Structure 1
């Protein structure tokens, strides 16, 4: 196998391929990247049998073939080479790499030993803008659970129906939901692993360009142009989140998102982790008051707000409420309450494309 390729392009594509490699792999060959020289250029493949990534690079191929190189060593070598053309020559699993005055000789594994990716019959597909997909991932994947005993909640529900795409995640303490319109007529529900979406987010560029998402039996495929990512889907039923999305709110509070975030961050300085990062919120006569205390002292914050409805005392884990507020894009948000024991539902003012729901911490009224 012989080919020449530009260092900068190869390094970029190695970084993308490495997203498909798990540190927990039990098969040594899966620590490697499969390099295939074809007529049209070079294809890099990496998989951990859950996530698979194929990425294609323009190259001058003199002799076709394939080899598996350790991902870390291969990536480190290419990153350190000069920004110039790299020459590869492979014979009997021995790899010669030259670039300007640098030369490496390393040993690889036969490409024939690399596991074949599953043959996938694409059943349904739709397009979505890369920047919208990045936003949807950023605003939902953080609310997945790490608890492997609830596998379906370690992923994000992607639901397509009535020309609308909905991304939903929840972990038992909060729920994040992002919706957007689509031209697709598909009616489908799938659960994508949170890890897959995190890795995809690192590959995606923040551009107003479309990518294609294809659905297959137990798989989802993201076609990003010169890179394709495959992910297994999670099995099982997702929680029926619509049951907790109540609309009969008794108290609504409009508040500046940044002011609320700053107040919560200051209050959380005295909210101890062993006490559930507890902050107390009181809505009284149009004022939103945040309090927190520990044996070190206490804090009292007053935030200007517009109140509609009953006064209210409620408590939250500050981390859960902050994580949802931080990733919202709206300047003004509305906090919707039913009572001190019911979830708070947060939206942008006049904007229901993103919804964040957080459960309160149960406290006696005397504690306020």
Structure 2
């Protein structure tokens, strides 16, 4: 095998494919990047068997072949080489030579034939979503994925297609995040994708309107970008019936400017950091919301204007859960729907209908 490639292109390919390499494997070959040189393109693959990422890089192929090379070391070498053409060729005794200007590295490589094959995905059942929309939907839900390993299904995000809508749903027992977008597709699909997979997908997606083709089998999902494919196992099991968790009615509705509320909560939470609950109290009055927090460090009081319909209420929250929601809402104004100080609060955008969040309050001791 021998090829010539621009450093920047090769470095980008290594960066993308190595996102799937965790190092937590009993198979040493999975600590490496698979490189195949053919038809004036390099195919780079990284995998941990649960998630695999394949990306293509243009190169001048002098001699075809395939190898596997330690991803960490190879990535470090390429990153530190000059911004110039890199020549890579295999020598005898399973040695690969990397040459760039006056730098020459000789590294041991593994046989490419020993690398596990990627799952075969029959691209029949698929949907198409613009990259920027999918990236925004993942960002707007992934913070609510459960970290608790006792319920593995909640460590994923529900990917649901029905009634010409795509819903992404995440919940962890304390909050629920739902993002919805129109999808011109008549299929009914319901799968649960590991949160780790979607976070890696989000890092690779760009804020552009180019299409991502998403294909499903019973056990796997494939995200197909122009030069990159991401294949992941799906989580087994049935996701929670999330629609049953959403209150069907409310008694109190308030409108508030999102950034003002976020700023007040961020300041109030500074006093709440000495406890695990990050407790802040909201005293919702006719025209004002008063936010307070008391701790051993001291106390804080914030006040902001609101538009209230319904009665006054006192309610408390973990400030982190509210901030996670507000940081991921793209609207300038938000609506808060409540019924009592011990029932869930639903947060929505005031002017758009593509986001819905539920946060459980913290019970206050009387």
Query: TM-score normalised to the size of structure 1?
Result: 0.97
**Aligned partners of 1:68 and 1:244: how far apart in 2?**
48
- What pairs up with 1:328-347 in 2 under 5 angstroms? 328-347=329-348
**Aligned partners of 1:171 and 1:275: how far apart in 2?**
16
Can you list the C-alpha shifts for 1:251-270, whole angstroms capped at 9, x where unaligned? 01101111111111111111
State the SS of the aligned residue for 2:247. coil
State the SS of the aligned residue for 1:330. coil
Q: Which moved more, 1:88-97 or 1:167-176?
A: 88-97
Q: 2:87 maps to which residue?
A: 87
State the SS of the aligned residue for 1:274. coil
**Aligned partners of 1:344 and 1:87: how far apart in 2?**
59
Is 2:190 the partner of 1:165?
Answer: no
Is 2:15 the partner of 1:15?
Answer: yes
**Aligned partners of 1:282 and 1:172: how far apart in 2?**
24
Displacement of 1:140 after TM fit?
A: 0.4
Q: Kindly report structure 1 stretches of 4+ aligned residues shifted beyond 6 Å.
A: none
Can you list the C-alpha shifts for 1:44-88, whole angstroms capped at 9, x where unaligned? 111000000111111111211111100011111111112221111
Q: Which moved more, 1:119-128 or 1:53-62?
A: 119-128
Contact 2:164 2:185 in 1 (8 A): yes
State the SS of the aligned residue for 1:263. helix
State the SS of the aligned residue for 1:325. helix
**Aligned partners of 2:229 and 2:38: how far apart in 1?**
17
Q: 2:76 maps to which residue?
A: 76
Can you list the C-alpha shifts for 1:245-295, whole angstroms capped at 9, x where unaligned? 123110011011111111111111111453511111111122111111012
Displacement of 1:100 after TM fit?
A: 1.2
State the SS of the aligned residue for 1:351. coil
Is 2:110 the partner of 1:109?
Answer: yes
Contact 1:38 1:64 in 2 (8 A): yes
Q: 2:141 maps to which residue?
A: 140
Displacement of 1:182 after TM fit?
A: 0.7
Can you list the C-alpha shifts for 1:295-343, whole angstroms capped at 9, x where unaligned? 2221111110000011111110111111111111111111110111111
State the SS of the aligned residue for 1:270. coil
**Aligned partners of 2:300 and 2:197: how far apart in 1?**
40
Q: 1:155 maps to which residue?
A: 156
State the SS of the aligned residue for 2:68. strand
**Aligned partners of 2:218 and 2:33: how far apart in 1?**
26
State the SS of the aligned residue for 2:329. coil
Contact 2:121 2:216 in 1 (8 A): no
**Aligned partners of 1:53 and 1:32: how far apart in 2?**
13
Displacement of 1:202 after TM fit?
A: 1.1
Query: TM-score normalised to the size of structure 2?
Result: 0.97
Contact 1:67 1:93 in 2 (8 A): no
Is 2:98 the partner of 1:97?
Answer: yes
Displacement of 1:359 after TM fit?
A: 0.3
Can you list the C-alpha shifts for 1:122-171, whole angstroms capped at 9, x where unaligned? 34111101000110011101110111110110010010001000000000
> Any gaps of 5 or more consecutive residues in structure 1?
none
